[in-house]
Amino acid sequence: MHNETLRPESTPAGLADFSPVIAAPATHNEGTLLDKYGRRITYVRLSITDRCDFRCTYCMAEEMTFLPRDEVMSLEECLRVASVFVGLGVNKLRITGGEPLVRKDIMWLIERLGALPGLDNLVLTTNGSQLDRFAAPLRAAKVKRINISLDTLRPDRFKKITRIGDLGKVLSGIEAARQAGFTRTKLNTVMMRGVNDDEFVDLVRFAVANQLDLSFIEEMPLGAINGRNNTFITSEETRAQLSEHFELIPSTESSGGPARYWRIPGSESRIGFISPHSHNFCDTCNRVRITAKGELYPCLGQNDASNLLPVLRAGNDDAVRQMIIDSMGIKPFGHDFTQQMDAPHVVRFMSMTGG
Ligand code: SAM
Ligand code: SF4
């Protein structure tokens, strides 16, 4: 369904002044998206930019070439693709990137996504650098929860890992999210031996003190970055380290993602582990990813994709819908991260596919 009421992104009046908003999908076909293994796809991660104000060493090369603007989906195209997915029964959408909050006029998109009937769970992953100015409008636009990346609490180390980032800005962003009324905000920490493994206990203490959840992530071989073999740490090893300082009680809770959670008695915080290597979670995978250039990747860890952009640009949302349904046929059973960390068979950086 192509909604004729949407206006192009380049309207001189400015996106923020737009109305009316996109109409509801004609039908909400709960559970339409099934892959060939019978997994229901209800969760989409939508990357709205490949650009970022940081250059994290595990995510990007030092010198990155970013997409030319005309190869990136317009905000209108992002909204159309999201509403087609919602019409196919998707009820959770994560906005990501690159850094989503550096995308110009991001709130135009978020406000419209927040009003999409059938989309129960609009969430965002951010590096936190822009949250001090965006937390309140995001909350007002019905974003349910925010994930914030935080690999260290030391300013000098933060600068080293992100190559440019300012820890102070991120910490004020975390505080702004709290003041805006966000709850269950989750920190994401990529575990790296010799880089931040001496801070895991401090990061847990920080999460507990600030009523945040925290997930530790095993580094994935996405994009050619040297040294991953040396820095890789399993979730098991980190959990053993944390167990010496905290009582960790296994929990059956889920946030709808791949993390497995532990609780610390007396604290609201959940400590999660995302373990694509040591605890493959593919059998319950419920998600697909859309890159900033409109490619649909059914699996983060494989190279098969469908290019939605030409069909989107032809203006035919029925054809987009059909292409999405057909793409479920190429969703593989799982990723293959077991190969050498320094010679990945997925050459896309995480910032390109969207984390
Ligand atoms: N810029 C935002 C941020 O940093 O949260 C959103 C995009 S970022 C690509 C999403 C998540 O992917 C972040 O939590 C980041 O730490 C994680 N990430 C990036 N590269 C990774 C890798 N090679 N292995 C594991 N996690 C990675
Ligand atoms: Fe940017 Fe996020 Fe990648 Fe860091 S992890 S470079 S903040 S996209």
Query: Does 190 sit in the ligand 1 pocket, CB within 6 Å?
Result: yes
Read off the pLDDT of each residue in 18-40 and give the average, rounded to a whole number: 58
Token code pair at residue 12: 């001189």
Which residues lie closer than 8 Å to 241 by C-beta, 6 or more apart? 197, 200, 201
Handedness of CA 309, 315, 319, 321 (dihedral sign): positive
* 135-184: pLDDT as tens digits: 999 999 999 999 999 999 999 999 999 999 999 999 999 999 999 999 99
CB 220 within 8 A of CB 350: yes
Q: Containing domain of residue 193, as a range?
A: 32-353
Q: Which of 64, 130, 149 to mutate to test the pocket of ligand 1 (most atoms within 8 A of CB)?
A: 149
Token code pair at residue 248: 């960790």
CB 197 within 8 A of CB 191: yes
Read off the pLDDT of each residue in 303-307 and give the average, rounded to a whole number: 87
In a domain, 49, yes or no: yes
Ligand located closest to 217 CA = 1
Task: Compute the mean pLDDT over every residue in the chain, rounded to the nearest whole number.
Answer: 86
CB 98 within 8 A of CB 350: no
Q: Which of 50, 94, 124, 125 to mutate to test the pocket of ligand 1 (most atoms within 8 A of CB)?
A: 125
Amino acid at 297: Y
Task: Examine the pLDDT at 333 and tell me if it is beyond 70.
Answer: no
* 98-147: pLDDT as tens digits: 999 999 999 999 999 999 999 999 999 999 999 999 999 999 999 999 99
In a domain, 172, yes or no: yes
Count of structural domains within the chain: 1
In a domain, 5, yes or no: no
Token code pair at residue 36: 């060939």
Q: Is 163 helix (H, G, I), strand (E, B) or coil?
A: coil
pLDDT at 331: 79
Which residues lie closer than 8 Å to 13 by C-beta, 6 or more apart? none
pLDDT at 167: 98
Task: Examine the pLDDT at 55 and tell me if it is beyond 50.
Answer: yes
Query: Does 177 sit in the ligand 1 pocket, CB within 6 Å?
Result: no
Distance of CA 184 to the CA centre of its chain: 16
Residues, the chain, total? Answer: 355
Query: Does 351 sit in the ligand 1 pocket, CB within 6 Å?
Result: yes
Task: Examine the pLDDT at 343 and tell me if it is beyond 70.
Answer: no
- Indicate left, alpha or beta for 102 from its phi (over 0: left) and psi (-120 to 50: alpha): alpha
Atom of ligand 1 at shortest range from CA of 351: 9
Burial 297-306 (b: 16+ CB within 10 A, else e): bbbbbbeebb
CB 291 within 8 A of CB 307: no
The 260-263 sheet, strands edge to edge:
249-250, 260-263, 270-274, 213-217, 186-190, 145-149, 121-126, 92-96, 43-47, 287-290, 295-297, 306-307
Q: Name the residue among 197, 194, 205, 206 with its Cα closest to residue 167.
A: 206
Query: What's the pTM?
Result: 0.88
Q: What is the residue whose two structure tokens read 């317009």? A: 74
In a domain, 26, yes or no: no
In a domain, 304, yes or no: yes
In a domain, 224, yes or no: yes
* Per-residue confidence band for 283, with pLDDT thresholds at 50, 70 and 90: confident
* Per-residue confidence band for 232, with pLDDT thresholds at 50, 70 and 90: very high
CB 199 within 8 A of CB 154: yes
Ligand located closest to 190 CA = 1
CB 87 within 8 A of CB 1: yes
* Per-residue confidence band for 4, with pLDDT thresholds at 50, 70 and 90: very low
In a domain, 176, yes or no: yes
Please report the DSSP string for 261-309 in residue order.
EEE-TT---EEEEE-TTTS--GGG--EEEE-TTSEEES-TTS---EE-H
Separation of alpha carbons 100 and 341, rounded Å: 27
Read off the pLDDT of each residue in 343-353 and give the average, rounded to a whole number: 63
Residue nearest to atom 10 of ligand 1 (CA): 355
In a domain, 3, yes or no: no
- Indicate left, alpha or beta for 343 from its phi (over 0: left) and psi (-120 to 50: alpha): beta
Separation of alpha carbons 196 and 198, rounded Å: 5
CATH number at residue 150: 3.20.20.70
pLDDT at 2: 37
